[in-house]
Structure 1
Amino acid sequence: MNPRQTFSPLRPSACPGLLRVVQALDGGICRIKLGGGSIRADQAVAVADAAARYAGGVIEATNRANLQIRGIGEQAAALIESLLAAGLGPTTAAGDDVRNLMLSPSAGIDRHMLIDSRPLAGQILDSLQTRARFHDLSAKFAVQLDGGEALAMLEHPHDVWLSAVEQNGESLLAFGLAGCPVDEPLGAVPEALGHELVIKVLELFLDLARPEQTRMRHLLAELPVSDFMAQLVQRLSQPPVDVTGWDRSASSIALHIGTYPQRQNGLVYIGAGVPLGRLDSAMLRGVSQLAGAYGDGSLRFTPWQSLLVPGVQFKDAPAVTDALNRLGFICSADQSLAHVIACTGSTGCAKGLADTKDDALQLAALLPHHGQRLSVHLSGCSRSCAAAHVAPVTLLAISPGHYDLYFRDAGQPGFGALHARNLTIEAVAALLDARSRSPLDA
C-alpha cells in the first residue's frame, strides 16, 4: 500500500491517523490504531524506534486504547513508512480512519468473559477497512464489542455497542445505539449474527444520515430510535429478541493495574498505568522486552491509559512488576497518579489554557495517600480530549495554574455540577482531601 495514497472521505476529519499527521504546537501527531488495543512486542519496538528516530520521542496511550507519536517534524513520511513496514497500518489507505472498534483489554483471557470477542472483532475490523461504503464514516464513529469481561470500559459512549449476555441457555449479543453497555439495550441477536448486525446498522446509518451528521447521536436527534429500529429489522435475517433483566455493571476494582489470574491456568496478566498517558521510547522498548521474555509476546493497551502484559507465569509476576516499576510505570492503584488524567495542555495544544500535565503532577503529589480517591480529569479547554466520559472530578482550565472545579452529576450536562471557580492546584488538593475525609462522601 502506498502511504501517500489520498482519498476524499464524505465526512472529513481533523483527527490524526497513521496516514495523516496533524500539526500541534509541539509538532506533528500520528495516531496508530490498534486492533482491540493489542500490539505485538516487536511492533511496539518499531513504534519506540520511530518515535525516537523521526519525532521527539513522546508516545501517548490514548483513551481509546491506541498509541500516538508526538513531535513529528520533517521526516513524517519516513516515520509512516517504518510503521507500515511493521504491519501497523490498515489493509487499505481509506480504511485507516474507520478502524474504531473497542474491546475489553482482557478479551479472550478474562476469567469472567461470556464469549471470546476477538474472532467477531476481526470480522468487523476487516469489513470496516475493506468495504468502500464504510469509508464514508467519520473518523470518530466507533463500535464497542463487550464480551462480558470483568475488565471492561463501560462508560465510553459509542455509536454502536454490542454486549454479550446469556439468556435461556443461549449466547446473545445485546446492542444499543449512541450509548454504553450500561444503558438499556434495544434488543439482542445470536452471537453468530453479530457481524451481520453491525454491517446492517452501519449501512442504514449511511443511508439515512446527512454528511454533516457524523455520529449516531446526530441522526437520532432527528430520527426517533423506534423508526431506525423498524427499518433495521427489515434488513436483518432474523428479528432481534427482547432482553430481560439487563444489568451490565463494571467492577469497582481497578483491574487494569496489578496482577490478576487469567482464564488460562497458571497464567496472569500484569497491568501497569502509563503516567498521565505518556511514555518514552525507553519505556516502550523495556515493556516490550518484558512481554517477550515473560509474557506471550504481546502488549494490550487499555482505555484507562494503561497497558497489560498478558500470558505471564504466576511465579514470574513479582519480577515483571518490579521491572515495570523501574521503567517508570504505575504498578499500584494506591498511587495517586493512577487516579489523575490530563490532556496535552498548553505546551502542545493551542487551545490549552494551562499546562495540565505539569499541574496534574503537582496535584498527584498533593493528593492524600489514604482514604477514598476520586478520579480527577484536568482539561485545558472544554473539548475534554483526555476523557471520553465524564470523570467524577473535572478541573477545567481558565488560565495558567487556575481551574474551575466540577463534580459529576447525572442530572446536569457537560462536566456536571460547578463546585468552585478559579482554584489553584493547592486549593484543589485541599478541597479534595477534605472531601475524601468526609463521611458524607464515603
Structure 2
Amino acid sequence: MLPLAPKVSVIVDGGGRLALDALSADIRLRAIPTAEGPALHVALAGNVASAIPLGVGAPDQAVNIVMRSLELIAARGPEARARDVLRRDGIAAFRAAASDRISAASPPPARPRAEAIGRHRQKDGAFALGVGLTFGHAHAGTLIELAHVAKANGAKWVRPAPDRVLLLGPFSEANATATRIAAERFDFVTAPRDPRRRIVACPGAPACASGLIAARALAAELAQHLPPSDDGTPVHVSGCAKGCAHPASAPLTVVGTEQGCGIVRDGSARTAPSAYLDPADIVTEIVRIAGKTREAVDA
C-alpha cells in the first residue's frame, strides 16, 4: 500500500452528461472520443479549469498511468500532493513516470453544467433518477427505506453524483415517477429549485461537540421561508467559527457563537460577525436580508 496523504484523490469521469468538471483532484481521468476509439485524458492537481494536462492514454493503460503517478507523489512523503510534486519537479516528472503510455494533447473543454436532480433517459431507453441529500445528509434508516422502494420499482443500482445527489436506476418512466414521490416523502430533495439547495449547513449541535447552534435544524426552518431559486446563491449556516461545511466566503453566513447567532455578510464563518441575534429571531432576519439582496439583484 502506498503511503499517500489522506486527501489524495483520483477522479474517473466517463465523459457522460453529469460531468465531474467542478471537482478538484490530484489526478483527473476523463474519457474522450478519438479517431482510434475512446481514450482517457489525464490532468493533475485541480478541477477541469485549473488542472495541468498530462496527456492522453489508452483505457487499458489508465491503471498503469495512475499508479506511476501515485508512486511519484508517495515518494515525496506521506503528506505530499500532486501540486507539491508539480511545484518542485514540474510536469516533466509525471511524463517521465508515465513513459510511453501517454501522448501530449490539449485538455478537453469544460462541459455545460447539467442538473443531476430529476429523471435522466439512458441510451437503452430506461431512466435514472437523481435525488438530493438534504444539506448533504441522510439517516441510514431513510436511505434503507429509499433503497427498498427503488428496488421494488425495478432499480438495480445506486451511485453518487455531483452536488450531493444519488442516482438510482434503471426505471421505467412510471416507476421513476413513483420513486421520486417516495423520495420526496422521505425528505430527499427532488426539485432542482428546492430552497434547501441554497443552504450549506454542518451538523451543528448536538451532533458536533464544537457546535454552538443546531445548524441543520436552523437550516431546515430557514428553507421553509426562502423562495425557490435558480441562482444558487448560498446561505451558510455553521455551528461554530470553524466553518467545516463551507470554509470559503458566502454572501450570507450564520455562525454559532457564545453571543448567539452571528451574521456575516460576504465573508466566512471565521469573519467577525456584524451583528448577533437570538436563535429564535435569526430566521426572520435572514429572510429579510435575503429578500433585500434579491431585490437589489433584480433591480
TM over 0.5: yes
**How far apart are the structure 1 equivalents of 2:41 and 2:241?**
33
Q: Is it true that 1:197 corresponds to 2:65 in the alignment?
A: yes
| Cα distance change, pair 370–165 in 1 and its aligned pair in 2 (3 A) | closer
**How far apart are the structure 2 equivalents of 1:382 and 1:160?**
31
Residue 263 of structure 2: SS of its match in structure 1? strand
| Cα distance change, pair 433–243 in 1 and its aligned pair in 2 (3 A) | farther
**Aligned equivalent of 2:291, options 384, 408, 433:** 433
Pairwise mapping of residues 25-424 of structure 1 onto structure 2 (< 5 A)? 132=1, 134=2, 136-168=3-35, 170-190=37-57, 191-207=59-75, 209-211=76-78, 213-220=79-86, 223=88, 227-238=89-100, 240-244=102-106, 246-251=108-113, 253-255=114-116, 257-265=117-125, 267-369=126-228, 372-381=231-240, 383-387=242-246, 390=248, 393=251, 395=253, 397=255, 399=257, 400-406=260-266, 421-422=274-275, 424=282
- Identify the range of structure 1 (187-196 vs 422-431) with the bigger mean alpha-carbon deviation: 422-431
Q: CA deviation at 1:215?
A: 3.1
Q: CA deviation at 1:392?
A: 5.8
Query: Which runs of 5 or more structure 2 residues have no equivalent in the other structure?
Result: 277-281
Amino acid at match of 1:215: R
**How far apart are the structure 2 equivalents of 1:164 and 1:393?**
36
Q: Is the 8 A contact 1:354 1:402 kept in 2?
A: no
**How far apart are the structure 2 equivalents of 1:196 and 1:189?**
13
Amino acid at match of 1:368: P
Alignment length (residue pairs): 290
Q: CA deviation at 1:327?
A: 2.1
**How far apart are the structure 1 equivalents of 2:33 and 2:49?**
16
Q: 1:96-145: CA deviations, max 9, x gaps? A: xxxxxxxxxxxxxxxxxxxxxxxxxxxxxxxxxxxx2x2x1133221111
Q: Is the 8 A contact 2:249 2:266 kept in 1?
A: no
**How far apart are the structure 2 equivalents of 1:174 and 1:186?**
8
Q: CA deviation at 1:260?
A: 1.7
**How far apart are the structure 2 equivalents of 1:330 and 1:270?**
12
Alignment root-mean-square deviation, CA: 3.1
Query: Which runs of 5 or more structure 1 residues have no equivalent in the other structure?
Result: 1-131, 408-414
Residue 289 of structure 2: SS of its match in structure 1? helix
Amino acid at match of 1:159: D
Q: 1:160-188: CA deviations, max 9, x gaps? A: 21222334554332222221123354232
- Identify the range of structure 1 (229-238 vs 398-407) with the bigger mean alpha-carbon deviation: 398-407
Q: 1:329-376: CA deviations, max 9, x gaps? A: 221123211332211213222333432212211321221235644233
| Cα distance change, pair 298–189 in 1 and its aligned pair in 2 (3 A) | same
Amino acid at match of 2:81: R
Instruction: Determine which structure has greater relative contact order: mean sequence separation of CA pairs < 8 Å that are 6+ residues apart, divided by chain length.
Output: 1
**How far apart are the structure 1 equivalents of 2:250 and 2:38?**
34
**How far apart are the structure 2 equivalents of 1:338 and 1:440?**
20
| Cα distance change, pair 340–163 in 1 and its aligned pair in 2 (3 A) | same
Residue 233 of structure 1: SS of its match in structure 2? helix
**How far apart are the structure 2 equivalents of 1:242 and 1:384?**
40
Residue 279 of structure 1: SS of its match in structure 2? coil
Q: CA deviation at 1:262?
A: 1.6
